[in-house]
Structure 1
Amino acid sequence: MTRILTLGLRAALFWLMTALVALAQTPIQDLLQTYQADVAKPSRKSIETVVDALIASGLPETRSVLSKWREKELYQRDEDGLFFFGEVAGQDIRLIDIATGQTVGAYDKKSVTQLKPNSGVRSVIATALVRYQLTDPDPAKRAEGLTAIERGAEASHLPALRASLDGETDAGLLGRKQRLERLLTIAYDDDSAARVAAIESFSKDLGVDARGALNPLLATTRKAATALPEGVNIARKVKPGSDDLDRDDAYALLVETGLAPALIPPSEQKEALIAHIENGQVAGFDVLNLNTDAARFDAYAALAATGAVRPTVTPAEVDAALASHVFYDQYLEPDAAVTGAAKKALLSIKTRVGLNQALDLGLDGLSLASIYFLAAIGLAITFGVMGVINMAHGEFIMMGAYTGYVVQQFIPNYTVSIIVALPLAFAVTFAAGVAMERLVIRWLYNRPLETLLATFGISIALQQLAKNIFGTQARPLTSPGWLDGALVLNDVVSISYIRIAIFVLGLIFLFLLLFILNKTRMGLEVRAVTQNPRMAASMGINPERVNMLTFGLGSGIAGIAGVAIGLYAKVTSELGADYIVQSFMTVVVGGVGNIWGALLGATMIGFLQKGIEWFNPSNTLAAQTYMIIFIIIFIQFRPKGIIALKGRAAGD
């Protein structure tokens, strides 16, 4: 029995030694053993040799070794000096074979040594890992590496980024790498010529990251000296007492620099005078007379002359100190060629940014104009043909928006729901408009005041009805996914896809209405009634029928506008009230009853409002007020609008 146990122990020992020999002979283990001392106790100088050897080996375990080493998860077994990955397992450390990933066993913490590289060593390892990630066969991994550098760039990333450029096969990633390499060159390269070339390459670039890299190069610090120093990069001289440098701040800078004695604050002077009062006097001055700053200053000066307190600085001495020193702003960047190139590049970028901001403002104005046009085009038809001041027009917009919301409750597909909602909103508001014209408007023709009051009352009633049905809380009208986001031309100019869709919808209705009015029988009848209703009636046209259909058409278009507006605005009972004023202004400014006039009026009001908001972006209410004032003045000079219409609506 003893012999069998002995043989078993020998066999187990043999297999254990065989496993250890095999473990020690793995290529990655052999390489680590070659640099055992430098791996166990690395320094900033020795670590580069080890990392270069690991990378040059091409072994698949290299990346894991570097990552674990950096994260302090690399261990050395004390009994034989072999290296393993380690995991904490209670009071022990579970060692894992680097090559196979298999668990070797659990060891007491005292029998293994955890490798804890310092920050300098970890920085070198991190750079090597970045190089690995930037050359990873998976494009997604390379993109992740670029994103990581963009979020937290370091000087150590520049060599790795440059080394990865030649082997990059993805055109998109290559462009990102080249751009990022130029940005890092500006910040971290030691070659002045390379930095200047990189700066000049961004002179026409509108990217925020480019400005973020260039602006720090022009950062300055204010300094004072007896004379302008030589060999420093000076931005400009500053004169005390100017808008750029207050006299008090200038003297405080001299004191801070050690070029002038500190001023004695009035509070400290007062305390010193109080502390030296004797028999009602201070240095020969009666306390009762020390009721002005000048008197206290003289008393303090006399006290300082006795050596009892430290002397203060007189105004004349302050003037002399300021006159005998120079004040200047010094660039934090020492290279004048770099700051000169950065200044030129930023000036060029600023000009281009201004032009693109003007373009962006124009697109915003065009977008707002298309919204106003959609909201007002129905009113332009009804007001122009019928002469009816319909204060409930905004509520037809609101009804269209709520129609879209109801449709989406039954059709969850947002694209399909919008396609269904547009004609349904037209049908609902067309019917509501016809009903309103038959029940109310037809009895109030040629009575504008009564029409205004009646439609205003209907407006309030419709708002309350909407509150009773849908509540006061805003309801969502969700746009399809393909309308999410924005069309981005550059870092300055962008426009949302929803606004583009509204602009396209406005164009569609513009051409559709022009076709109806100019190419159809109904359009012919509408134009005839607009020009001369009596003559139209004598020709067999029914003016009442034309008025009814026209009012319904205008109301239906308002419903479609409500669906479009509801895609980006809050759908509430007050939705229409937010656009009724702009709709009337659009119609009046453009010219009553004219489609082209409504288009021009909407364009004028949209651009005007955006322009005023640009001058005063924090107060949109003031912008609308100024816009109304401008329009009132405009109407004084052109009461019939941009395009005057002849006929009944024009008062002929």
Structure 2
Amino acid sequence: MAAFAAPSMAQDTIQEVLQEHRAVIEKSSRKTIAPAIDAIANSGLPSAQTVLQKWQSKEMWQRKEDGLFFYAEEVDSKTYSLFDFQDGAALGEAAKSDLKQLKPNSGIRAMIGAALVQFQLNDPDPVRRSEAILAIQRDGEASHLAPLRASIAGESDPDIKALKEVTERLLTISYDTDDAARVAAIQGFNGALSLDARAALNPVLTTKIALKDALPDDANIKDRVIAGSDALPFEDALAMIVDAGLIPAQPTVDERKDALLANITDGQVGGVAVADLDTQEARDRAYMALVADGKVPAWDANYSIEEAVKSTAFVEVYAEPSKAVTDAATKTIKTIDRAVGLNQTMDLALDGLSLASIYFLAAIGLAITFGVMGVINMAHGEFIMMGAYTGYVVQQIIPDYTVSIIVAIPAAFMVTFAAGVAMERLIIRWLYNRPLETLLASFGVAIALQQIAKNIFGTQARPLTSPAWLDGALVFNDVLAISYIRIAIFVLAGVFLAVFLFIMKKTRLGLETRAVTQNPRMAASMGINPDRVNMLTFGLGSGIAGIAGVAIGLYAKVTSEMGADYIVQSFMTVVVGGVGNIWGTLLGALGIGFLQKGIEWLNPSNTLAAQTYMIVFIIIFIQFRPKGIIALKGRAAGD
């Protein structure tokens, strides 16, 4: 075997520290190893971290000849290359038989890991520092507190420093022995929304029920507990009293029966013939006779659990002995609950706004056709479905999701615009002013379109994948967040509103549409073709439904029946808002979206109830305001 040089043994080398604690390192006992680990960690030598890391990973070896320590790398099954801890210099090779591998058990490795924290918290790499802090938050212990505090002052990264300060407060709450420091740390979380803060505070407020007289005078009592309440049933209260030795345990019916069987002598028990023990009264009399003879445990026939426990005081006592700490934790939890409640309300409002945006997109086209033409188009949901499938087909052709969505929006408009024009020309135009026939005809078209979609795309849901930049969510805190897709739908709804208002207010089609809406006969006498306006209007409403389908497809599943999920809400939105009025449709969508989310929040286990209650509310609403929130004048209003 090749010879190698011995490492330097100059004063204050890491090898010198190791040799000083050689005996306990060799013994490798969790009970005695702590001084050696502390000596290495606190030596101030640059190589201390390397020693601890190699030791923890079982890569530290000791040469049997002189007891020196190295870290080694395997050359082959019988040979290892040795390296000096001090400077990492290669020291040659050695036979495995000449070396002893240090294999710390899990307990020692955990102690080494705790000692390594101080190095990781001051690592030059900010990523490693962040990882170390997060590791402490997941599995912190008392030994982490001192090095964490020491690392805060020298932290240069403001985000990491803030993370260290929060983690220091968490550890202070759990492990510091100074009540004043713990109270200050607890108060630092006033109004905090972090789940870690609540996880640290909840153990502080852990309680148990105990006998008041059995507690020391300085016990931290939370409140009195009444025996017989839900918190302390009579049976549990009795068991506590018996365990404390305050009263003897009363034998149960089965125990008394076993005692009678065990004391049968010459066909009698306690002077009562066995044949006569056919009633509970006889059995009780026999047992009392055995009690008088001292053969069985005493039993009180008039015993009552309620009477036994009523004179005993029970209290709920904190496991935390410091009242100042529990009072601070209680106050802080209340501020956290208020903050969480406020943010949950805001989160519910965002959910309601998001749902309202979806309903607005689904209903805006229906508001045009229903409002201007008075046509009850039951196939409107299928136009939404056609738009979603158009987006899916475009994504099969264009693999770039961003480009495909940009292309899919106008493509869906053109496809559903053409379908709407075709439907109006072939069916709807012959059924004006015949609402029942229009409803039945459009319902038949809806069924046909669903079946065509099933024949082409099958019954399984098809993915309409959003671009990568729409993945994830905008997170405000641990409670409040909204997905980027919902934000995109909200923005798209706002764009639709602006475009629709522009068309209706600034274009010739909008002028003619408003004229036909207000007075079709007068509009015709002014040279406007109501038939052409109806065709374009129906096509416009259908085209907008197609674009809505693309947006909804990014959020919901794309199936042949997806339109049926939105047709009822679309009609409710239009009716509540006011037929044919875009602002009414917007208000209707907001009202229904917030109402549905509010009902779901009150009854989260039954989503069907939300739909039912919402329909009932709308029925009641239209009894008082049959023309909706904003009533439209003209043909749609029945003028």
Q: Give the TM bin, normalised by the shorter chain.
A: over 0.9
Q: Which amino acid aligns with 1:67?
A: Q
Which position in structure 1 is the counterpart of 2:394? 407
Q: Partner residue of 1:155?
A: 142
Amino acid at match of 1:358: T
**In the alignment, what sits opposite 1:573?**
560
**Change in CA separation of 1:267 and 1:554 when aligned onto 2, cut-off 3 Å:** farther
C-alpha distance in 2 between matches for 1:281 and 1:579: 82
Q: Counterpart in 2 of 1:85? A: 71
Residue 156 of structure 1 aligns to a residue whose secondary structure is: helix
What is the CA–CA distance in structure 2 between the aligned matches of 1:350 and 1:633, rounded to whole Å?
Answer: 36
The one-letter code sitting in structure 2 at the alignment partner of 1:539 is M
SS in structure 1 of the partner of residue 321 of structure 2? coil
- The correspondence for 2:411, drawn from 424, 441, 444, is 424
Residue range with higher mean Cα deviation, 209-218 or 511-520: 511-520
CA contact (8 A) 1:261 1:313 kept: no
- Choose the corresponding residue for 1:607, options 594, 618, 622: 594
Paired residues for 1:236-635 under 5 Å = 236-273=223-260, 283=270, 300-312=287-299, 314=301, 316=303, 318-635=305-622
Please say if residues 262 and 313 of structure 1, whose CA atoms lie closer than 8 Å, have aligned partners that are also in contact. Answer: no
Aligned mates of 2:495, 2:266 — CA distance in 1: 97
In the other structure, the counterpart of 1:9 is: none
- For the residues of structure 1 that align with 2:428 and 2:403, how far apart are their CA atoms? 36
Contact in 1 for aligned 2:386/2:549 (Cα 8 Å): yes
1:107 equivalent to 2:92? Answer: no
Once the two structures are TM-superposed, the CA of residue 82 in structure 1 deviates from its matched residue by 1.2
Inter-CA distance 196–314: structure 2 relative to 1 (3 Å threshold):
farther
In the TM superposition, what is the alpha-carbon distance from 1:634 to its structure 2 partner?
1.4
SS class of match (1:626)? helix
| Structure 1 counterpart of 2:50 | 64
Shift of 1:356: 1.3
C-alpha deviation, 1:242, in angstroms: 2.5
> Do residues 202 (structure 1) and 189 (structure 2) align?
yes
Partner of 1:29: 15
Contact 2:7 2:84 in 1 (8 A): no
> SS at the partner of 1:634?
helix
Query: What is the percent sequence identity of the aligned residues?
Result: 64
Question: 1:560, 1:451 → 2: CA distance?
Answer: 24
User: TM-score scaled by structure 1?
Assistant: 0.91
CA drift of 1:260 comes to 3.0
8 Å contact kept, 1:233–1:333: yes
- The residue identity in structure 1 corresponding to 2:526 is M
Cα distance in structure 2, aligned partners of 1:342 and 1:361: 28
- The C-alpha deviation readout for 1:32-56, integer Å capped at 9, x for no partner, is 3354445434676774466445654
Kept in 2, the 8 Å contact 1:285–1:299? The answer is yes
Report how many residues are paired.
635
**1:131-158 Cα deviation digits (max 9, x unpaired):** 1111111111112211211221111111
Question: What's the offset of the Cα at 1:25?
Answer: 6.4
Task: For residues 250-278 of structure 1, give each alpha carbon's deviation from its aligned partner in whole angstroms, at most 9, with x where no partner exists.
Answer: 11222333333334333334444555567
Instruction: Tell me the distance in 2 between the aligned counterparts of 1:245 and 1:324.
Output: 15
Determine the C-alpha separation between the residues in 1 that align with 2:606 and 2:261: 53
Contact 1:388 1:451 in 2 (8 A): yes
Q: Deviations over 1:259-304 (max 9, x none)?
A: 3333433333444455556798764668788777677656644554
CA contact (8 A) 1:35 1:50 kept: no
Return closer, same or farther for 1:246/1:34 CA change in 2, 3 Å cut-off: closer
Instruction: Report the Cα distance in structure 1 between the residues aligned to 2:396 and 2:346, rounded to whole angstroms.
Output: 39
C-alpha change, 1:292 and 1:494, in structure 2 (3 Å) is farther
Compute the displacement of 1:464 (Å).
0.6
In terms of mean alpha carbon deviation, does 320-329 or 592-601 score higher?
Answer: 320-329
* d(CA) in 1 for partners of 2:274, 2:609: 57
> Could you tell me how far apart the structure 1 residues matched to 2:544 and 2:527 are?
27
SS in 1 for 2:568: helix
User: What letter is aligned with 2:198?
Assistant: R
SS at match of 1:221: strand
Q: For residue 514 of structure 2, what is the amino acid of its counterpart?
A: R
Counterpart in 2 of 1:20?
A: 5
Alignment-mate amino acid for residue 73 of structure 1:
E
Cα deviation for residue 362 of structure 1 reads 0.9
CA contact (8 A) 1:483 1:497 kept: yes
d(CA) in 1 for partners of 2:80, 2:263:
77
Shift of 1:89: 8.1
Structure-2 change in CA distance of 1:505 and 1:287 (3 Å)? farther
Give SS of 2:208's match. Answer: strand
CA distance in 1, matches of 2:70, 2:237: 63
1:382 positional shift: 0.3
Partner residue of 2:217 out of 215, 230, 247: 230
Deviation, structure 1 residue 189 = 0.7
Letter of the 1:82 counterpart: L
Paired position in structure 2 for 1:6 = none
Residue identity matched to 2:71: F
Maintained 8 Å contact 2:418/2:539: yes
Q: In the alignment, residue 453 of structure 1 is paired with which amino acid?
A: L
Instruction: Provide Cα deviations, 1:78-131, integer angstroms capped at 9, x if missing partner.
Output: 21121122567887573622344647434354x444435566654443222111
Q: Kindly indicate whether the alpha-carbon contact (under 8 Å) linking 1:226 and 1:324 is maintained by their aligned counterparts in 2.
A: no
Query: Structure 1 residues 550, 331: CA separation in 2 closer, same or farther (over 3 Å shift)?
Result: same
Once residues 426 and 110 of structure 2 are traced to their aligned partners in structure 1, the CA distance between those partners, rounded to angstroms, is 82
Structure 2 match to 1:5: none
1:8 aligned residue: none
Change in 2 beyond 3 A, CA 1:80/1:227: closer
1:315: Cα distance to partner? Answer: 5.4
What displacement does 1:195 show? 0.5
Q: Residues 155-234 of structure 1 correspond to what in structure 2 (within 5 A)? A: 155-226=142-213, 229-234=216-221
Does the Cα contact within 8 Å between 2:41 and 2:115 map onto a contact in 1? no
Name the residue aligned to 1:7.
none
Indicate if the aligned counterparts of 1:84 and 1:97 stay in contact, CA closer than 8 A: yes
Which is further off, 81-90 or 138-147? 81-90
436 and 24 in structure 1: CA distance in 2 versus 1, 3 angstrom threshold: same
**SS of equivalent to 2:80:** strand
Residue 374 to residue 229, structure 1, CA distance change in 2 (3 Å): same
> What's the CA shift for 1:540?
1.2
Say if 2:14 and 2:45, in contact at 8 Å, map to a contact too.
no
Tell me the distance in 2 between the aligned counterparts of 1:629 and 1:293. Answer: 60
Structure 1 unaligned residues grouped into runs of 5+:
1-11
What is the CA RMSD across the aligned residues, in angstroms?
2.7
The one-letter code of the counterpart of 1:498 is: I
Question: In the aligned structure 1, how far is the partner of 2:463 from the partner of 2:495?
Answer: 25
Per-residue CA deviations over 1:340-367 (Å, capped at 9, x if unaligned) read 1000000111111111111111111111
Greater Cα offset, 27-36 or 642-651: 27-36
1:607-631 deviation per Cα after TM superposition (whole angstroms, max 9, x unaligned):
1100110011111011111111111
Q: 1:266 to 1:71 in 2, by over 3 A?
A: farther
CA deviations 1:185-243 (Å, max 9, x no partner) are: 11111111010000001012111111111111101111124465311111111011233
